[in-house]
Chain A
Amino acid sequence: MVPLTWYLFLAAALFCIGVFGALSRRNAIAVLMGIELMLNAVNINLVAFWRYTDLGQMTGQLFAVFVITVAAAEACVGLALIITIYRQRHTVNVEELDTMKG
């Protein structure tokens, strides 16, 4: 049986890789990929805690399902935005998308 802490270490490492990807990449789609990795790390934690502390209820798994749902909705809208921005500006480099700056 694998101890709980291993899963938590894995999730922490995955989350940090996701943070790095989301903050350091120039392309907006790559940023979104980093965010998906972070959400997955959260899911690993949710399911690991369900498995090791909360077997009587399904809360951990239920939460993970809802996180996946939200991730799907987020990807839909996020990627639609990116496509539209690309169509108008011919770039999806997040550093050049600063029209809102005063």
Chain B
Amino acid sequence: MQQVAFAVLSLITLGAAIMVVTTPSLLRSALWLILAFFGIAGIFVLLNADFLAITQILVYIGAISTLMIFAVMLSSKVMDPHQPRFNEQWGLVGGFSALLFVALAAIVSRVVWPVAQGEVPVDTIQRLGADFVGPYVIPFEIASVLLVVAMIGAIIIARERE
């Protein structure tokens, strides 16, 4: 059952990802990207990481994709689908990506991964919350600073100057 779910979700994810990088229309690319994010959220559920799945939907689909669609619409003239979507080196890059995949796949299948069996704890969210303010408090506070700095920077950059 889980295998079937995994197969369906990875087909959705990979298919959508391929459409993202090949579709000429940028807005459709962004919509395929949303489908890919959704598939990945499903993969997280299969991995018993439900909080991350909802984070994926909330942040990637709700926030980052919206930002991307806005950016696509704000730079609208580039959406002309007649101009080439790839640069000249796309054949080379394609070959490189395929080679990279072969290499990664070889590594993944050769190495014997130390898999530990165990029950997934039921209180993962409490533990996440405790870890944010416990051992990971420095990254936690830095995340807040990073977000604010990014926001301030982006506002300075994107503001229309009168």
Contact = CB atoms under 8 A, between A and B. Distances in A.
Direct contact of A and B (CB under 8 A): yes
Interface of A: 1-2, 4-10, 12-21, 23-27, 29-30, 32-34, 36-37, 40, 43-44, 47-48, 50-56, 58, 61-62, 64-66, 68-77, 79-84, 86-87, 90-95
A10 B109 CA distance: 12
Given A29-B75, A47-B49, A24 B94 contact: yes
Contacts of A20: 21, 93-94, 97
Interface of B: 2-3, 6, 10, 13-14, 17-18, 20-21, 26, 29-30, 33, 36-37, 40, 43-44, 46-49, 51-52, 55-56, 59-60, 63-64, 67-68, 70-72, 74-75, 77-78, 83-87, 89-90, 93-94, 96-98, 100-101, 104-105, 108-109, 113-116, 118-121, 124, 127-128, 131-132, 136, 139, 143, 146-147, 149-151, 153-155, 157-158, 160
**Main SS of the interface on chain B?**
helix
Given A47-B49, A55-B116, A16 B3 contact: no
A29 B93 contact: no
Contact of A65 (B52, B86, B98): B52
Given A4-B113, A40-B36, A61-B128, A93 B78 contact: yes
